[in-house]
Structure 1
C-alpha cells in the first residue's frame, strides 16, 4: 500500500505524492536511469532556476514499501540529504537513497523538506 509523502520546496511549491516523479528545470518522464514502473503516472516537478544550478532532470523520487527515496540522475551540481540529527550526506549518482521524514534534500540551489502525511 502506498504512503503519501509531502514535499515542501524552497520555491514555495508543495507536492503530495504517493508515486514516482522527476524534479528539474525541464523534467521528462523518459529520463534514462529513472526506471519508473508506470511512466503514465510520473509526476514532473519544474523548478525555476535562472542560474542553472538545477539540471534539466536533476533527480528522481519514489517509494518502495512505504520508504521514500531519491536518486540523483547524474546532475552537474549533485544532491545532498540532511537527516535530522545525523548530518548531511552526498548522494551517489544513479543510486537510490532512502530519505527519512524530517529530512531536507538539496539539489543545486533548491531544496525540499520531506514529511509523511
Structure 2
C-alpha cells in the first residue's frame, strides 16, 4: 500500500505515512483547502504617513473638498449596514457613457489597459454579488503584495478616482512635486493624468 499524498510505501496496518505524516485515509481531494479571502497577501513594509488629500465622499457624490483630510472609515454618509469593503461602489457610480473620458493605465507588470467607467484591479479581482463593473483587470504579482481585489476605480465628473478596497498593503498616489498620498480604504481619491498609483510592490501610471 502506498500513501495517496506523497506516494511513499506504507507497511501493513500503518495509520500514518512515515514520509509526509498524512493519514493513510487521506486523499488529494480531502487535503484541498478553500481559497482564503481576503487573508491572501504578503505584508510588506508600512507605508509612509498619509498627507493632505482631495477626496470625494462616497455618498452622495456631493462637492469636491479640496485640501480635506480623510476621516476614519465608517464616518462617511453611507447607507446603514453598508460599511463592508466595496459593498457600495457600483450603486453610487452612474453608468459609463460615450462622452466619458477614456484613461490609459500603464502597469509596472507590462500590461497597458484603456478604461472608461468603473473597474477593479488586483491579482484575481472579484466583485461583490450586487456589484457591476465595466472592467476587471488582473495583474501578475508573484510576491503577492497586491491583494486579489486591491483597488477600485471610476470617474467623478470626468475625473479619474481610485478607492482602496481594504487591501493588505494599501494604495499610494504620487505626483511630483506634491507629497506622496496614502489612500484611506473606503474613500475615493481624485487622480490626475500623469500620476503614479502604487499598489503593494507594483504600480500603474494614469495617462
- The TM-score normalised by the length of structure 2 is 0.50
**Higher relative CO (CA 8 A, sep ≥ 6), structure 1 or 2?**
1
Number of the residue aligned with 1:73? 165
State how many pairs are aligned: 109
CA distance in 2, matches of 1:54, 1:72: 11
Deviating above 3 A after TM superposition, structure 1's stretches of 4 or more consecutive aligned residues are none
More strand as a share of residues? 1
What SS class does the counterpart of residue 68 from structure 1 fall into?
strand
Q: Which runs of 5+ in 2 are unaligned?
A: 1-98
- The TM-score normalised by the length of structure 1 is 0.87
Larger radius of gyration: 2
The answer to whether residue 109 in structure 2 is matched with residue 17 in structure 1 is: no
1:28 to 126, 135, 138: 126
Using the TM superposition, give the Cα deviation of residue 87 of structure 1 relative to its aligned residue in structure 2, in angstroms: 2.1
Q: Give the alignment's Cα RMSD to 1 decimal.
A: 1.5
2:156 to 64, 72, 90: 64
Number of the residue aligned with 1:44? 136
Q: 1:29 to 1:99 in 2, by over 3 A?
A: same
CA distance in 1, matches of 2:103, 2:142: 28
| CA deviation string 1:31-51 (max 9, x = no partner) | 78xxx5xx1x52111111122
